[in-house]
Amino acid sequence: MIHDAQMDYYGTRLATCSSDRSVKIFDVRNGGQILIADLRGHEGPVWQVAWAHPMYGNILASCSYDRKVIIWKEENGTWEKTYEYTGHDSSVNSVCWAPHDYGLILACGSSDGAISLLSYTGDGQWEVKKISNAHTIGCNAVSWAPAVVPGSLIEQPSGQKPNYIKRFASGGCDNLVKIWKEEDGQWKEEQKLEAHSDWVRDVAWAPSIGLPTSTIASCSQDGRVFIWTCDDASGNSWSPKLLHKFTDVVWHVSWSITANILAVSGGDNKVTLWKESVDGLWACISDVNKGQGGVSAITEGQQNEQ
């Protein structure tokens, strides 16, 4: 049973993870599918994988029910485990790399309710910060805010280190979406977004497209998908808009790179694509399964997990 499939930064390699405890990497250039690596190291189902930005090399993080986070690195063509984090007491459900501007930082959300932040400090060392009890009985998803300098959308003068404010969103079994902000090196809960009436299954912070608005999508066991937006620079006033209420659990939301399309994956195995119209209403533009709407969903390739 596959639990996650993610393309790398260039869209040339595909990483999948599965109940069979494996993480696999495929070369999918030119429509092909060639198994590059079968990474073994987890002792339970692997829930998610995340590619780091290529400026740090070929690095993949995976998280598993076995409570471990493993960071894999390709060195000289071999994928090896480069770091294993065992600081969680329960299933680690989500991993997400911070924007590359911040360095190599991985956020991990666990069923033990905590969120860990692993920062590479050089020389094989990782520094761990842990937010305990971020979500009671479990954090299901983490997603970083894009690296945007507050109050200035214009490129900073070169040489001057941008004053980034690091933020990420998390969703959990307490039905909440929370926004975390780093202040003086400490992570603090900045916002608590309440709208869902059941577990928040996934959160996705939309990529920045140069507008001052921040946008987060969240989906839940309750079948609802909310789009949260915040227009002010301080990041304090978030307002939800119900994208749709599905009849089944919504497991996953994913923004397109241009942040204008949201892919929603539901428990009924349906994937739908949503787009915001000019008047701010969200409309389903395609049901990927049925191939309707203005989208050509071409299956370029398929692969057998085993």
Partner 1 sequence: MKLKEIDRTAMQAWSPALQHPIYLATGTSAQQLDATFSTSASLEIFELDLSDPSLDMKSCATFSSSHRYHKLIWGPHSMTTGESVSGVLIAGGENGNIILYDPAKIIAGDAEVIIAQKDKHTGPVRALDVNIFQTNLVASGANESEIYIWDLNNFATPMTPGVKTQPLEDVSCIAWNRQVQHILASASPSGRATVWDLRKNEPIIKVSDHNNRMHCSGLAWHPDIATQMVLASEDDRLPVIQMWDLRFASSPLRVLENHTRGVLAIAWSMADPELLLSCGKDAKILCSNPNTGEVLYELPTNTQWCFDIQWCPRNPAVLSAASFDGRISVYSIMGGSADGLRQKQVDQLSSSFGNLDPFGTGQPLPPLQLPQQTASQSVILPLKKPPKWIRRPVGASFSFGGKLVTFENTKAQQQPGIDQQQQRHHVYVSQVVTEKEFLARSNQLQEAVRSEGFVSYCQNKIDMAQADFERSVWAFLKVNFEEDSRVKYLELLGYRKEDLRKKVNVLESCEVGEGQTNSDFLSIYFAVSNVDGLITQALLTGNFESAVDLCLHDNRMADAIILAIAGGQELLSRTQEKYFAKMQSKITRLITAVVTKNWKEIVQSCDLQNWREALAAVLTYARPEEFAALCDLLGNRLESEGDSLLQTQACLCYICAGNVEKLVACWTKAQDGNSPLSLQDLIEKVVILRKAVQLTQAVDPNAVGALLAEKMSQYANLLAAQGSIAAALTFLPANTNQPNIVLLRDRLCRAQGELPVGQEALKAPYERQPMPKARAGSVAGQIQGPQAPAQQYYQQGDNPPPPGFIMPGAVNPNMPPQQATSSSYNMYSQAGARPPYPQTYQATQQYSFGTGGPAVYQPQQPITAPASASYPNPAPNPTHPYLPSAPSHTMPSPLYPGQPQPSPTSLNPASSFPLPPSGASFQHGRPGPPATSVAYALPTGSTGTLPATSDLPASQRTGPQNGWNDPPALNRTAKKKKVPDNFMPPVPITSPIMNPLADPQSQMQQPPAPAPPVGAPSFQPPHLPAGQPVLQSPYQPAPQSLGPCIVPPAVSKTSTEGAPGAPIGNAIQHVQALPTEKITKKPIPEEHLILKTTFEALIQRCLLSASDPQTKRKLDDANKRLEFLYDKLREQTLSPTIISGLHNIVKSIETRSYMEGLNIHTHIVSTSNFSETSAFMPVLKVVLTQANKLGV
Q: Interface residues for partner 1 in 5-44 (CB under 8 A)?
A: 5-14, 16, 18-20, 27-30, 32, 34-40, 44
Using CB under 8 A, which residues numbered 235 to 294 contact partner 1? 251-252, 254-258, 260-261, 263-267, 269-271, 273, 275, 285-286, 288, 294
Cα 198 from chain centroid?
Answer: 20
136 sits near partner 1 (criterion: CB under 8 A): yes
Taking CB under 8 A as the criterion, which residues in 141-160 touch partner 1?
158
Report DSSP letters for 90-157, one per residue.
S-EEEEEEPPGGG-SEEEEEETTS-EEEEEEEETTEEEEEEETTSSTT-EEEEEEPP---TT--SPPP
Q: Which of 68, 69, 93, 148 binds partner 1 (CB under 8 A)?
A: 93
C-alpha distances in Å from residue 221, one per residue of 163, 192, 215, 225, 249: 37, 18, 21, 10, 4
Among 42, 67, 166, 167, binds partner 1 (CB under 8 A): 67
- Do residues 173 and 199 touch, judged by C-beta distance below 8 A? yes
CB of 4 to partner 1, least distance (A): 6
For the chain, count helices (H), then strands (E).
0, 24
Among 91, 170, 214, 218, binds partner 1 (CB under 8 A): 91
User: In whole angstroms, how close is the CB of 225 to partner 1 at the nearest point?
Assistant: 13
CB of 176 to partner 1, least distance (A): 6
Residue with tokens 């040489």: 159
Shortest approach of partner 1 to residue 241 CB, angstroms?
19
